[in-house]
Structures are given as structure tokens and as C-alpha cells.
Amino acid sequence: MQVMSRQISAKLVAAAAAAAVVFAAGSALAAYGQPVDWQLGFQQSVTPVMDYIAWFHDLLLWIITGITLFVLALLGIVVVKFNAKANPVPSKTTHNTFLEVAWTVIPVLILGIIVVPSFRLLFLQLNTPEAELTIKATGKQWFWSYTYPDNGKFEFDSLMIPTKDLKPDQPRLLAVDNEMVVPVNKIVRVQVIGADVIHAFAVPSFGIKIDAIPGRLNETWFKATREGVYYGQCSELCGKDHAFMPIAVRVVSDQAFTAWVAEAKKKFANSETPVNQVASASPAGN
């Protein structure tokens, strides 16, 4: 029995160690703005907007949990105290002024607690501060094109890299051949439009998600506070290859961004990517 107990203990310790390794690896990967195995919460935030979204989410979670536990307690009291055996003669009471005031005032107070940070978040998301860089993102079937009007108006297409061509550090279905590059700690305005059907530009770590609609120019903004590569995807059902038009944003230092712009002006001066080069095969076939 002692030997068996030791074996079980050893297995539990090994399982705990493995879980710790998985958690640590997941935390490390989360810093790169991509989903990880067994992830439960949001991707790691790197913008003020996403920080606020995460805080507001946690606030609502506490409120919802409290309401759920309160209702569960009331149901338990009703089941125990007011069943036919415990209370064979039901009460004839039809009105209770205190209860009627309470169940009106308390929900109003709860909504008042929620509405203030909710409006603040909407204001933060929808009111773009004075931008230090503007990028136009055009959704196409099925890839993204980026234009830098502040840096010479060069444009390039960003296509998903097929699985067979991925490098070891590139995530499947998220890595692209040409990443959007932005400087760290700069306010970036992203103007979004669709060239054919409705798409949606979304990067979870930035807390941004906005529709790309043909004939209408929408805009959003972000300020990435840490260097790295952050991934997103089209979040609108736009056609058969909807799942294969990822977004990759590389956040770099000011010096690296200046060097990249100089190189991009030459690289994308007259480049055109034919539509038939889009990676449109299924994941298994890539």
C-alpha cells in the first residue's frame, strides 16, 4: 500500500509539474499576441483600450457571480422553506412594499455601477486621439492589403503562409508573408474598408474589432506598449476562405520602423500580388 501510495504521489507531482510547464509555456506564448492551448481568459493586453476591456470584464464577472449566487440562495430558500411538506398552508400575502421597492432600486443601482465604465469604454474606443501614424487596411477575398499614406503611400498585400512553408517560430493559420509594421508607444489610426464583401479587422491583444465594409471607411486605433508580433483574424463570415485571412502586426522600435519604411518603399514600389496567389487551400492541404 505504501509503495502504491508513493507511486500515486509521484504521478500527481509529475502531473502538477507538467501543468506548470504548460502554463508557463502558455504565458510565454501569450506575450506574442496569439492564442495558446488551454487558454481561458483574454490574450495578454498590450494597449490601454484592452487594459480597460479586461478590467471591465472582471468587474462584470464579479457582479454577475454575485447575482447568480443570490438567486441560487433564494431558490434554495424557496425549495426548503416553502415546499408543500414544510409549508402546507401557503401565505395569502399579495403585496410587500419593502420587497417591491428593493427589487426595483437594487437593479437600478447595479445598472448605474455598470453604465459609467461602459460609456467610458465606448468613448475610449470610438474617439480616436490625434494619430501619429495612419494605416489603411483593405479586406479582400481572402487577404489584407495595407497602405501607409503618411510614409509615401506604398501598399502591399498580406497573405497567409501555407503550413508547409512555416518556420518553427511561426504559428499555423496566423503567420503571413508581409506583416503590418508599427512603432511602439505610438497612436496608430487604422482606416478599414472592404474591397468586395464585408470583412472585419480584429486583433485581440489590441482590443480592436471593426467591420470592413465596401464603400464605407471605418476607423479604429491602438497604442501598442510592448514590442512583439500580435495576431488577429477576419472576424466576419466573408466566404469560403474566411478562416485563412489572418492579421499579423509587428510592433518595433522607432529606429527599426524607420529602417523598415525605407526598405518597404523600395520593396513595394511597383509590387502587385495577383489574387490567384492567395492561400485558399484547406489547412490539411497547405
Report domain extents, the chain: 49-126, 133-274
At 61 the pLDDT is 95
Determine contact, residues 193/203, Cβ cutoff 8 Å.
no
What are the cell numbers at 149?
Answer: 499614406
CA dist., res. 221 & res. 134, Å (int): 9
Count Cβ atoms within 10 A of the Cβ of residue 118 and give its class: 0-12 exposed, 13-18 middle, 19 or more buried: middle
At 88 the pLDDT is 84
What are the cell numbers at 158?
Answer: 498580406
The answer, yes or no, to whether residue 160 has pLDDT greater than 80, is yes
Count Cβ atoms within 10 A of the Cβ of residue 211 and give its class: 0-12 exposed, 13-18 middle, 19 or more buried: middle
pLDDT band for 4, please (50, 70, 90 cuts): very low
At 40 the pLDDT is 85
DSSP class of residue 171? P
14 versus 117: the higher-pLDDT residue is 117
Q: Which of 11-20, 191-200, 259-268, 269-278 has the lowest mean pLDDT?
A: 11-20
Q: How many CB atoms lie within 10 A of CB 4?
A: 8
133-274 architecture in CATH? Sandwich (2.60)
CA dist., res. 43 & res. 47, Å (int): 12
At 257 the pLDDT is 96
Q: How many CB atoms lie within 10 A of CB 41?
A: 9
Q: What is the rounded average pLDDT for all residues in the chain?
A: 84
At 51 the pLDDT is 95
At 153 the pLDDT is 86
216 versus 96: the higher-pLDDT residue is 216
Strand, coil or helix: 164: helix
At 2 the pLDDT is 43
93 versus 149: the higher-pLDDT residue is 149
Half-sphere exposure of 117 (CA within 13 A, CB side): 15
Q: Which of 9-13, 117-121, 148-152, 271-275 has the lowest mean pLDDT?
A: 9-13
At 52 the pLDDT is 96
pLDDT band for 244, please (50, 70, 90 cuts): very high
Can you tell me the mean pLDDT for 239-261? 95
pLDDT tens, residue by residue, 29-75: 444 688 888 888 899 999 999 999 999 999 999 999 999 999 999 99
What are the cell numbers at 214?
Answer: 465596401
At 111 the pLDDT is 94
Can you tell me the mean pLDDT for 198-203? 96
pTM score above 0.85: no
The answer, yes or no, to whether residue 26 has pLDDT greater than 50, is no
